[in-house]
Chains A and B, each alone.
Chain A
Amino acid sequence: MKKKLSCILLIEDNEFTNIFNQKLIKNLDITEQICVTESGKEGLDFLISKGRFEGNGVSCPNPDIIFLDINMPGMNGWEFIEEFKEIKKNKPISSKIVMLTTSPNPDDEQKAKLIAEIIAFKRKPLTKVIINEIITEHFPDFA
């Protein structure tokens, strides 16, 4: 019985993508919990237990991996990262971020490389191969 990650957070505005990604990760059986938020704002609320997540006893405010979509209405991926950095100053959060994009842009990829919290920049759709690569590379204990 291999070791499982405790929590993976998905931040993605497309409902179908969320369903698919959830199913994919579940099928791989690598984590205890998969949490889904549908905007950057909701993702932040999840991390600081506010809004929808206030007082309902979320068990994992420190997910191991955050799969983050860049292009979202309201707060986009980049803006989320700025806020995330702010939160990290006051809270012991060690989440690693995997950025997902529909249309890969070399400029975005370049930008992502300069941010320490981002461990990977991947093109959608998410696949088993991509997830396995990330686990092997960044979480060898759970492979």
Chain B
Amino acid sequence: MKKSLLFRWFKNISIAKKLYFTVGVMALLIGIELFTLFFSIHTLSSVRAYVEGEGLWSKAQKDASYHLLKYGVWHDEKDYEKFKEFMKVPLGDSKTRKELMKQNPNLQIARQGFIEGRNHPDDVNGMIKLFRRFNSVSFISRAIYYWSEAEPVAMQLIPIGDSLHNEINKASPSPEKINGLLQKINPITEKITVLEDGFSFSLAEGARWLENIILKLLFIIALTVEVSGLLLTISISRSIQKGLSEIISATNSFAKGNLTARAKVFSLDEIGTLAYSFNKMSEKLERSILELEQAQNKFKGLLESAPDAIIIMDNEGIIKLVNAQAEKLFEYNRNDLLSQPISLLVVDNSKNLNTEPEKLFFKLSQMQRLILDVHGRKKNGHEFPIEINFNPLQTEDGLLVSVAIRDISDRKYLKELERKNIELEQFVYIASHDLQEPLNTITSFISLIEEEHKDKLDKEGSAYIDYIRESANRMTMLITDILEYSRIGRKSKFEVVDCNEIVRQVILDMNATLTETNAKITYDKLPVIKGYPIEIRLLFQNLISNAVKFQKKNISPNIKILACEENEYWHFTVEDNGIGIDEKHQDKIFVIFQRLHNVRKYDGTGIGLAHCKKIIELHHGKIWVESVMDVGSKFHFTLPKMEKNS
């Protein structure tokens, strides 16, 4: 747990800190190694000092023994002095040993003792430390044991020396006594030699052990430095490499189009931050790309739903995109059109422009709207008139041009039809005018004959004259009606029309007829509309006069005119109590010159309701009838409401 925590901490610190950390660990380990080296050299040097010390000790003891023997033989006081001088070495060392064996040694005294023992002052401190540090180690303690064993033996020389000195300085020294004393010296020396050997061996063995330990320690530390350095380096470089390769693979994947590609974040160091930033960036990019795609889809949707054929071309006139309408209009498959020049579909018939059509189109597309004398060409070669409309389109691929194309065959046909219609009306107008003149002549002269030659005609002749006049009158009526029919909606102005006023005037005009037939007309709150006043008046006049005319014998006409709102229209009804119209004839009555009755019974030209229909259609309304034979008819028609703001 603790380790994983540390591991996690290490993972998440910055790369710089990781490097500092690694270098720090290495430095620490190297420091430890150096310290160990220093310590071991120091210790070994102290061991060497002991060996030297032992040498000094041993030499001093031997020299002391030699001078004592010499003194015993020659009785020279100088030898005795030398003996005492040499004996100071083991005494000094002894002082140090005894002090150091104490619980709380006086290091000053210990140092003093070693210096008296002729040790080099520079070695003294190290020797004391070695004694104190390692006295429990077997080799050292054994050496100390030999030292402490050898010491009292060596000290035996001192009482021997004192006794010898006393004896020699007596007035009459006894040679026997002196010999006896001298014979004690050699065995001491022999005994000490054995102990000295023991001391030396132990110390040498200790030194070897120490060397061994130190070598191993140094080796272990060096190994630790190298291994830990290597491990840290591998771990850091691995984590860097892992993070980087994750980012690289995510980047490559994203570049290849996988918009959901993200890099795993392994750590919170610079690499982790980089991965996190990359993820943020790709998230934003993904969103932008999706938005772009949506916009593109919207554009495509618009393109496909447009009513016109739309072609998008580049500045070379090469087709880049077409919609379904274009496929339909030109009867090509979409794929057959892409990368083709637009001149495949659009033919310039004007020919007066010596420019390649593609370049011309491009140039012209700079203008906002443009209609040329151009034709479209279908796959089968059939050409048809089109209206063409260019729009420059700034895109990331440069300037493109959207070309909207509309088949105007129908419009041309309609225009043609309209023109023919006008021609026809003109023709009807002139024809009826020209027909009227000879007719006028006929009626004029008939009246002259009647006036001036009546007495010369017999009864039959008078009847013939009547027939001619009646027919001529009827023809005049017919021609007048045709003329009026052709004139409906011509040169008339769209105005605000109050239907109440129109109906009131019509009733006033028809006063004579209405009185004669005892007709009753009711109307209430008719609307104000926008229309052609003369035509609207004619409409009401025709409907009312029909209602009065087609009446049962001996029954007074009762006519009701009503209007109600119906969406954008006013729905009018003109109801009568007349003879009614047979259902099978109800469609016929609005056709020009369709009569249901004999002229003698109900006069008229059969054009009145055709008039009404033309007038209603002129106002974009509808007219129809509802009728029951012998009960009455109800004429319905609709007229558009006036727009509130007009």
Contact = CB atoms under 8 A, between A and B. Distances in A.
Partners in one complex: yes
B362 interface: no
B491 to A, nearest CB: 6
Contacts of B445: 16, 20
A23 interface: yes
B448 A102 contact: no
Contacts of A27: 451
A17 B436 contact: no
A107 interface: yes
A52 B384 CA distance: 61
Given A103-B429, A103-B483, A14 B436 contact: no
Most buried by A among B432, B441, B487: B441
Nearest to A16: B441
Contact of B433 (A16, A24, A102): A102
B491 A103 contact: no
Given A20-B445, A106-B534, A71 B433 contact: yes
A103 B432 contact: yes
B441 A20 contact: yes
A124 B440 contact: yes
Most buried by B among A14, A16, A71: A16
A102 B439 CA distance: 10
A51 interface: no
A125 interface: yes
B534 A125 contact: no
B445 to A, nearest CB: 6
Nearest to A69: B437
Contacts of A127: 447
A121 to B, nearest CB: 16
B479 to A, nearest CB: 8
Contacts of A106: 534
Contact of B437 (A23, A102, A107): A102
A103 B433 contact: yes
B441 A107 contact: no
Contacts of B429: 103
Most buried by A among B444, B445, B491: B444
A126 B444 CA distance: 8
B441 A14 contact: yes
A20 B436 contact: no
Interface in B440-491: 440-441, 443-445, 447-448, 451, 480, 483, 487, 491
B192 to A, nearest CB: 168
A94 to B, nearest CB: 29
Contacts of B480: 103
Interface string A13-41: 01011001001100100000000000000
Given A103-B483, A106-B534, A17 B433 contact: no
Interface in B219-253: none
A125 B491 contact: no
Given A103-B483, A106-B534, A107-B491, A125 B433 contact: no
Nearest to B492: A106
A133 to B, nearest CB: 17
Contacts of A124: 436-437, 440
A122 B462 CA distance: 29
A107 B492 CA distance: 9
A125 B443 contact: yes
Nearest to A71: B433
Interface string A111-138: 0000000000000111100000000000
Contacts of B491: 107
Contact of A103 (B436, B447, B448): B436
Interface in B476-523: 480, 483, 487, 491
Contacts of A125: 440-441, 443-444
A86 B437 CA distance: 30
A16 B441 CA distance: 7
Most buried by B among A102, A107, A124, A127: A102
B581 to A, nearest CB: 31
Contacts of B436: 102-103, 124
B441 A17 contact: yes
A14 B437 contact: yes
B412 to A, nearest CB: 31
A71 to B, nearest CB: 7
A27 B447 CA distance: 13
B561 to A, nearest CB: 25
A48 to B, nearest CB: 29
A107 B491 CA distance: 8
Interface in A49-94: 71
Nearest to B441: A16
Given A103-B483, A107-B491, A20 B444 contact: yes
B424 to A, nearest CB: 17
A126 B443 CA distance: 10
Contact of A20 (B448, B483, B487, B534): B448
Nearest to B434: A102
Nearest to A106: B534
B426 to A, nearest CB: 13
A105 B451 CA distance: 30
B434 to A, nearest CB: 8
Contacts of B440: 17, 102, 124-125
A100 B451 CA distance: 23
Contacts of A71: 433
A107 B534 CA distance: 12
Contacts of A126: 444
B483 A17 contact: no
Interface string B325-338: 00000000000000
A20 B436 CA distance: 16
Interface string B529-544: 0000010000000000
A46 B432 CA distance: 32
A101 to B, nearest CB: 9
Contacts of A16: 441, 444-445
Interface string B364-388: 0000000000000000000000000
Contacts of B448: 20, 23-24
A17 B441 CA distance: 6
A129 to B, nearest CB: 11
B628 to A, nearest CB: 38
Contacts of B447: 127
Contacts of B433: 71, 102-103
A99 B581 CA distance: 43
Contacts of B483: 103
A132 to B, nearest CB: 15
A80 B447 CA distance: 30
Q: 8 tightest A-B contacts by CB?
A: A125-B444, A20-B444, A103-B433, A16-B441, A125-B440, A102-B436, A124-B440, A102-B437
Interface of A: 14, 16-17, 20, 23-24, 27, 71, 102-103, 105-107, 124-127
14 contacts: A14-B441, A17-B437, A17-B440, A20-B444, A23-B448, A24-B444, A24-B448, A27-B451, A71-B433, A102-B436, A103-B480, A103-B483, A124-B440, A126-B444
Given A20-B441, A125-B441, 5 more contacts: A27-B451, A102-B433, A102-B437, A106-B534, A124-B436
